[in-house]
Amino acid sequence: MAQAFGATGKQRPRREELGSGENLCAYCTARCCRYFALPIDTPESHRDLDFIRWYLLHDRASIFVEDDTWYLLVHTVCKHLRPDHRCGIYDTRPQICREYTTRNCEYEDFWTYDHYFETPEQVEEYAEAVYASQSGESIRSPRPVGS
């Protein structure tokens, strides 16, 4: 079964359907060039989570957790990505790009994370759940009087 449309405008083949000499990038829309993710310190307090809320007050930022590592994800396109989804500075690209491999890239569309936060409110809900449960307090609102 073919996947969504790729760089060629045709349905892209699944990773395992490609021949041994074929390059995944020929079928991709350069997802790896449309964001960067940096590991951040694992929050250990409500105050740490408040810093994460601050990150999410900025456009094009999200947070994800994968294998117990927290990341700041910045959704921004590399300024050298061409309309055909190819690198405009391929021969002089940064070392991090040279070392990147398609072995575990985002070619498929079924990535999931342990946690994914897009809004400050989601982080606040997470903080309330984590820190209320650690203190033994309920995260639920108190029952209204007379109920």
CA distance 85 to 77: 11
Judge whether 38 lies within some domain: yes
The pLDDT score that the predictor gives to residue 138 is 52
Domain region containing 51 = 29-135
Judge whether 8 lies within some domain: no
Calculated CA dihedral for residues 69, 71, 77, 80, nearest 10 degrees: -60
Quick check: pTM over 0.85? no
Judge whether 103 lies within some domain: yes
Residue 5 has pLDDT above 80, yes or no: no
Instruction: Report the domain count for the chain.
Output: 1
**pLDDT higher at 5 or 31:** 31
The pLDDT score that the predictor gives to residue 2 is 45
Judge whether 62 lies within some domain: yes
The pLDDT score that the predictor gives to residue 87 is 95
Judge whether 130 lies within some domain: yes
Q: State the average pLDDT for the chain.
A: 86
46-59 pLDDT tens trace: 899 999 999 999 99
Residue 6 has pLDDT above 60, yes or no: no
Residue 8 has pLDDT above 60, yes or no: no
User: Residue 12 is encoded by which pair of tokens?
Assistant: 């892209």
pLDDT band at 139 (very low <50, low <70, confident <90, very high): very low
CA distance 125 to 84: 41
Judge whether 80 lies within some domain: yes
Judge whether 11 lies within some domain: no
Handedness of CA 26, 100, 119, 138 (dihedral sign): positive
Judge whether 16 lies within some domain: no
